[in-house]
């Protein structure tokens, strides 16, 4: 009879119920052949061989003999379980990174089927950077931005210059509408950026909105509660773009920061 507490420990380490039973039987009774293990565990011999092979691949079982003789299976030291958990965590982190990078494309395919916008919520520095990476990888020819006072640069200073470099490399043009006290989103041909500034009293914006052909992001950089929303829906993006163009045209003849700063004074 398997001790339920020990079996639970093995399950917590990532073993299936059958794997835990077979491994613990080897610990209880020592090195064994598959047939006795089948008898003691109540698991069919063919399945026992499969489980032993799985445990061997995990490094928890060592197989000796088997060529002309019946193989004997030895249990490895239980400390291997900790190494296995470390490997599983690294593999999971890598898998999450890969899935996170590709979830946008998969979501777009899903949206085409069901016709619903995909809205996702992100928080913290890593979450905000994830949003910007998906904006860059959206294959849009442009990014239009409603900016705040330039909090992106101070909130993620190590990533901010990378974002600009990647955008330039991808030849993505950036139009910006910002308050007059924004010092980081100036007009720049080399950075493919055109900016129009508004008096702070008229445009006291405190969040960053970015619009592409398909995606719309809304981000606020509160120090202890930075959050962002990414909307994957072409119709919503088009309507945000119409709003952007409407405000852009209001100041069609006044695009220099100095003129707006002077008005603000």
For residue range 230-253, what is the model confidence (pLDDT) as tens digits?
A: 998 899 999 999 999 999 988 664
Strands across the sheet with 215-220, in order?
A: 118-123, 227-232, 215-220, 208-211, 142-146, 173-179, 193-198
pLDDT, residue 2, reads 44
pLDDT band at 47 (very low <50, low <70, confident <90, very high): very high
pLDDT band at 111 (very low <50, low <70, confident <90, very high): low
Q: Tell me the C-alpha distance between 85 and 14, whole Å.
A: 7
**Residue pointed to by tokens 């914006």:** 205
Q: Is 232 helix (H, G, I), strand (E, B) or coil?
A: strand
Give the pair of three-digit tokens for residue 188.
């720049």
Range 181-189, long-range pairs (CB < 8 A, 24+ positions): 181/149, 181/150, 181/264, 182/147, 182/148, 182/149, 182/150, 183/150, 184/150, 184/152, 184/153, 184/160, 185/145, 185/147, 185/150, 186/257, 187/255, 187/256, 187/257
Where is average pLDDT lowest: 25-29, 81-85, 232-236? 81-85
Where is average pLDDT lowest: 47-51, 100-104, 112-116, 258-262? 258-262
201-221: average pLDDT: 89
Q: Tell me the C-alpha distance between 206 and 246, whole Å.
A: 20
Q: Give residues with Cβ within 8 angstroms of 127, minimum separation 6.
A: 226, 227, 228
Q: Which of 12-16, 26-30, 99-103 has the highest mean pLDDT?
A: 26-30
For residue range 34-45, what is the model confidence (pLDDT) as tens digits?
A: 898 898 889 998
pLDDT over threshold 60, residue 28: yes
pLDDT, residue 108, reads 66
pLDDT, residue 50, reads 93
Q: How many residues belong to the chain?
A: 265
CB 148 within 8 A of CB 206: yes
Please state the separation of Cα 137 from the chain's center in Å.
13
Q: Of all helices (H) and strands (E), which one includes residue 263?
A: helix 257-264
For residue range 9-18, what is the model confidence (pLDDT) as tens digits?
A: 888 888 888 8
pLDDT, residue 115, reads 62
pTM more than 0.85:
no
Percent of the chain topping pLDDT 90: 33
Q: Is the model more confident about 199 or about 240?
A: 240
Cα angle: 225, vertex 228, 233; to 5 degrees: 165
pLDDT band at 159 (very low <50, low <70, confident <90, very high): very high
pLDDT over threshold 60, residue 263: no
**Mean pLDDT taken over the chain:** 84
Beta bridge partners of 179: 198
């Amino acid at each position: 009879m398997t001790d339920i507490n020990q079996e639970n420990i093995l399950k917590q380490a990532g073993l299936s119920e059958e794997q835990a039973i077979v491994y613990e039987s080897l610990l209880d009774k020592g090195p064994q052949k598959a047939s006795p293990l089948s008898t003691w565990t109540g698991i069919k011999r063919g399945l026992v061989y499969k489980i032993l092979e799985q445990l061997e691949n995990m490094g928890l079982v060592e197989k000796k003999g088997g060529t002309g003789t019946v193989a004997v299976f030895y249990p490895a030291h239980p400390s291997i379980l900790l190494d296995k958990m470390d490997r599983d965590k690294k593999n999971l982190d890598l898998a999450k990174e890969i899935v996170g990078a590709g979830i946008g494309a998969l979501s777009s395919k899903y949206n085409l089927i069901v016709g619903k916008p995909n809205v996702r919520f992100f928080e913290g520095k890593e979450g905000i950077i994830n949003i910007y990476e998906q904006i860059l990888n959206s294959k849009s020819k442009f990014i239009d931005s409603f900016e705040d006072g330039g909090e992106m640069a101070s909130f993620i200073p190590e990533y901010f210059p990378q974002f600009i470099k990647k955008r330039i490399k991808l030849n993505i043009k950036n139009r910006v509408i910002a308050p007059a006290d924004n010092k980081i989103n100036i007009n720049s041909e080399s950075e493919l950026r055109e900016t129009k500034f508004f008096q702070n009293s008229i445009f006291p914006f405190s969040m960053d909105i970015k619009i592409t052909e398909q995606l719309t992001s809304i981000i606020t950089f509160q120090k202890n509660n930075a959050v962002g929303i990414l909307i994957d829906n072409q119709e919503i993006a088009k309507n945000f773009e119409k709003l952007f163009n409407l405000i852009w045209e209001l100041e069609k003849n006044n695009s220099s920061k100095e003129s707006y700063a002077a008005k603000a004074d």
